[in-house]
Amino acid sequence: MPRKILLTLALLATAGAPSCSTRPTAYGDANSIIAVMHPDLWEQLSEEVYDALEPTIQTVRNEKTFTVTYQDPETPEWGMLQRFRQLLLVGTEDDPWIAQALEYARKEISAPGITQAYDVWSRGQQATIVLLSDGAAAEELRSFLPAVNDLLDSQFREYARNRMFMSGIDSALVDTLAMQARFSVLVPDVYRWSAQDSVYVFRNDNPDPAELIRQVAVTWRSPIPEGMSRTDVLAWRDQVANGYYNQGQMVDTTALFEEAGGDTERPSNQIQGIWKNPPDLPWPAAGPFITRVVTCPGQDRMYLVDAWLYAPGKEKYEYMIQLETILDSFRCYR
């Protein structure tokens, strides 16, 4: 059982029983899933559940987007784990954990099917119910796993974006950038920004830059250069990082991912990888980065939009979603 689940169980054990008149607040992280089903079904499909619900992304290493913890609903521990924030409940209508959850379902379903219920055993809880028929349980659950992952991942992305903008969107900055530089990005109010030459930097290093930094930079070249290779783009990024970031950065060229994107008006190319501190600095640091090159023909400009993260010892998926959201918000104006 993951360490953070064990720590939460210890807290629950010492918290005492909740009042009958109040529903306790859910525990656990939004990307920590308690999977509940009969032990024999779990034994058959545990590896497939892990594969489907724990896909990895590249940050400074392969990192799980979700963490799955199995719970047998017929053991005493279920009494505490049923208060966790994110539950995956699998079974038939005759299973008590399914019957209770279905009473709170937003949408009625018939077996086999998927629905979700909220605040079943605690406030702020989300339960994803996979309702199975009496036969062929393994085959039915297996067929639903991709849809369950898609559902939970899309909801987690929405959760990450909402948390990002809890301070509000700096809408005044959009107008300022459009007038001054003919581009814009959407950033939360807590971001600071600065401009030097044609390099605009947007930074959030709250609460402590030693623990967490999210930064985006935007610059451009005009006229639009032709034949920009990956090496050319990374050299451009190096120039910006070493000239305009608080500390220089080096790119680990052994771990790069590249993909095309954008649209017909703003075609783009994206490179994702790992940055590291230069060797002459006295402390090691590293993190993921996403660099996009966006072509705006109406301006005769090619933009470099670079986002990077420093979050030592932290799960990074939520922060990567936040940076992607800022990158996706980039617009250029004629």
Q: Which long-range contacts (CB under 8 A, 24 or more apart) does 263-267 make?
A: 265/296, 265/297, 265/298, 266/294, 266/295, 266/296, 266/332, 267/294, 267/295
Rounded (10°) CA dihedral 307, 311, 312, 314: -130
Residue that has been written with the tokens 């990895």 in this structure = 56
Contact 268, 295 (CB under 8 A): yes
Distance CA(237)–CA(248), nearest Å, equals 11
Residue at a domain's end among 134, 164, 194: 164
**Residue 122: its H or E element:** none
Tell me how far apart the alpha carbons of residues 245 and 240 are, in angstroms, rounded to a whole number.
Answer: 7
Total domains, the chain: 2
Task: Give DSSP secondary structure letters for 50-110.
Answer: HHHH--EEESSSEEES-EEEEE-TTSTTHHHHTTBSEEEEEE-TTSHHHHHHHTTBSS---
| 157 lies in the same domain as 205 | no
- 59 with 160, same domain: the answer is yes
Q: What does the pLDDT read at residue 240?
A: 98
Tens-of-pLDDT digits for all 334 residues of the chain? 564 554 454 444 444 444 444 789 999 999 999 999 999 999 999 999 999 999 999 898 889 999 999 999 999 999 989 999 999 999 999 999 999 999 999 898 998 999 999 999 999 999 999 999 987 899 999 999 999 999 999 999 999 999 999 999 999 999 999 999 999 999 999 999 999 999 999 999 988 999 999 999 999 999 999 989 999 999 999 999 999 999 999 999 988 999 887 776 677 899 999 999 998 888 889 999 999 999 999 999 999 999 999 999 999 999 999 999 999 999 999 8
Same domain, 147 and 266: no
**Whether residue 178 sits in one domain with residue 137:** no
Indicate left, alpha or beta for 281 from its phi (over 0: left) and psi (-120 to 50: alpha): beta
Same domain, 225 and 120: no
Sign of CA dihedral 204, 210, 211, 214: positive
Instruction: Give the end of a domain, one of 137, 164, 191.
Output: 164
Per-position b or e across 52-77, b if 16+ CB within 10 A of its CB = bbeeebbbbeeeebbbbbbbebeeee
- Within this chain, do residues 128 and 254 fall inside the same structural domain, yes or no? no
Tell me which residue range forms the domain holding 255: 171-332
Helix 39-53 to helix 137-164 angle (10° resolution) is 40
Tell me: do 19 and 151 sit in the same domain: yes
Distance CA(75)–CA(123), nearest Å, equals 23
Asked if residue 48 lies in contact with residue 37, where contact means CB atoms within 8 angstroms, the answer is no
CATH, residue 260: 3.40.1000.10
Q: Are residues 198 and 309 in the same domain?
A: yes
Residue type, 157: R
Question: Given 98, 133, 164, which residue is the final one in a domain?
Answer: 164
Instruction: Check whether residue 157 and residue 200 sit in a common domain.
Output: no
- In 3D space, the residue among 100, 88, 96, 99 whose CA is nearest the CA of residue 128 turns out to be 88
Backbone angles phi, psi at 62, to 5 degrees: -70, 120
159-165: Cβ within 8 A, 24+ apart: 159/30, 160/317, 160/318, 160/321, 160/322, 160/325, 161/321, 161/322, 161/325, 163/318, 164/188, 164/321, 164/322, 164/325
Determine the pLDDT at residue 80: 87
Residues 53 and 132 in one domain: yes
**CA pair distance 100, 74, nearest whole angstrom:** 14
| Non-local CB neighbours of 277 within 8 Å, separated by 6+ positions | 247, 248, 249, 250, 283, 284, 285, 286
Residues 135 and 228 in one domain: no
Is residue 153 located within the same domain as residue 191? no
pLDDT of residue 266: 72
Output the domain CATH number for residue 84.
3.30.379
